[in-house]
Amino acid sequence: MRETGDGPERLNTGTAHSARVYDYILGGKNHYEADVAAGDAMVEVWPALPAHMRANRAFMLRASRCLAREHGVRQFLDIGTGLPTSPNLHEVVQEVAPAARVVYVDHDPIVLNYAQALLASTPQGRTTYIEADMRDPDAILGAAGFRDTLDLDEPVALLVIGMLHFIHPGDDDQGLIRRLLDPLPSGSWLAATVGTADFAPQEVGRVAERYAAEGMPMHLRTHAEASAFFDGLETIQPGLVQVHKWRPDPDDERVRDEDIAMYGAVARKP
């Protein structure tokens, strides 16, 4: 069963957007000239950017599979979904548990357009798309799709992948995560990745400058700052590490530490 939100805003194709730049750099087809130009400029200043982005996505797939297979999670709330790229989150978790339910959230109208076409659930499960901004948790938690799809008497996995470097401390970054976690029951989970310049400060700093020039300012965090998002939660092994070091699969792409600018962790809500 598949449901989508409604009321998309006018699509702006003349300005680069983070989801479409991500799609372009990963080799997708759902982007425009502005996204290509921005992506090329970013890869020029940091050639490792595609490998970094692939590692971030691979973390999401491993973490969601782990939660479904090893911890029995059957409900997922994915914030900042981005453009659908198979395998999507619901494909991974429904392969483990066909009745799993997934709520996707993004605020780019092009993501809504492709979500309508591609985010198709198994007959036993359910996928819903909500058009909303992470900076407005009330809009997410109050959406009919959220209430109708997720049972808050059962654990929910909150995924925030590749998003937090676009959320600044002035936006109450940690408060946003808490507001999303608060209504979720004990035994729920947070899986998140957090951008950092700890390993290649000059190169990653130049990428951040390019994003800012395109109207997408970033805030990169140290390990200690990234850890704060998981305060009060029970982080599972191996803790907060670079994403390529979190339970890697034998066939994962081999990368250098200095080519990965993202920490990742999975933690349980007591």
Spell out the domain ranges in the chain: 2-268
Q: Which residue in the block uniquely carries the two structure tokens 């965090």? A: 221
What fold does the segment set 2-268 form as a domain?
A: Rossmann fold (3.40.50)
pLDDT in tens, 118-136: 577 899 999 999 999 999 9
What is the 3 state secondary structure string of the chain? CEECCCCCCCCCCCCCCHHHHHHHHCCCCCCCHHHHHHHHHHHHHCCCHHHHHHHHHHHHHHHHHHHHHHCCCCEEEEECCCCCCCCCHHHHHHHHCCCCEEEEEECCHHHHHHHHHHCCCCCCCEEEEEECCCCCHHHHHCCHHHHHHCCCCCCCEEEECCCHHHCCHHHCHHHHHHHHHCCCCCCCEEEEEEECCCCCHHHHHHHHHHHHHCCCCCCCCCHHHHHHHHCCCEECCCCCEEHHHCCCCCCCCCCCHHHCCEEEEEEECC
- Is 262 in contact with 56 (CB distance < 8 Å)? yes
Note the pTM of the prediction, 2 decimals. 0.92
**For residue 181, which of 218, 142, 233, 258 has the smallest C-alpha distance?**
233
In angstroms, the CA 44 to CA 114 distance is 29
d(CA 179, CA 171): 13
The predicted structure's pLDDT at residue 111:
82
Number of residues assigned to the chain: 270
Q: What is the pLDDT of residue 23?
A: 87
Tokens of 241: 């590490």
pLDDT at residue 5 in the model: 45
Q: How far, CA to CA in Å, does 181 sit from each of 94, 146, 166, 212?
A: 23, 13, 19, 29
| Tens place of pLDDT per residue across the chain (270 aa) | 444 444 444 567 888 888 888 889 888 888 889 999 999 999 999 999 999 999 999 999 999 999 999 999 999 999 998 888 888 899 999 999 999 999 999 988 878 777 765 577 899 999 999 999 999 999 999 999 999 999 999 999 999 999 999 999 999 999 999 999 999 999 999 999 999 999 999 999 999 998 898 888 999 999 999 999 999 999 999 999 999 999 999 989 999 999 999 999 999 999
Put residue 253 in one of left, alpha, beta given phi > 0 → left and psi -120 to 50 → alpha.
Answer: beta
| Residue 10: predicted pLDDT | 55
The whole-number pLDDT of residue 4 equals 47
What's at 130, amino acid-wise? I
What pLDDT sits at residue 18? 81
Closest-CA residue to 85 (of 123, 51, 111, 124): 111
Q: For tokens 């007959």, name the residue.
A: 123
| Confidence (pLDDT) at 90 | 94
* pLDDT tens digits, 80-115: 988 888 888 999 999 999 999 999 999 888 787 777
CB 266 within 8 A of CB 191: yes
Q: What's the CA gap between 148 and 263, in Å, rounded? A: 32
pLDDT at residue number 117:
55
In this predicted structure, what is the pLDDT of residue 11? 66
Q: What is the pLDDT of residue 30?
A: 82
> What pLDDT sits at residue 2?
44
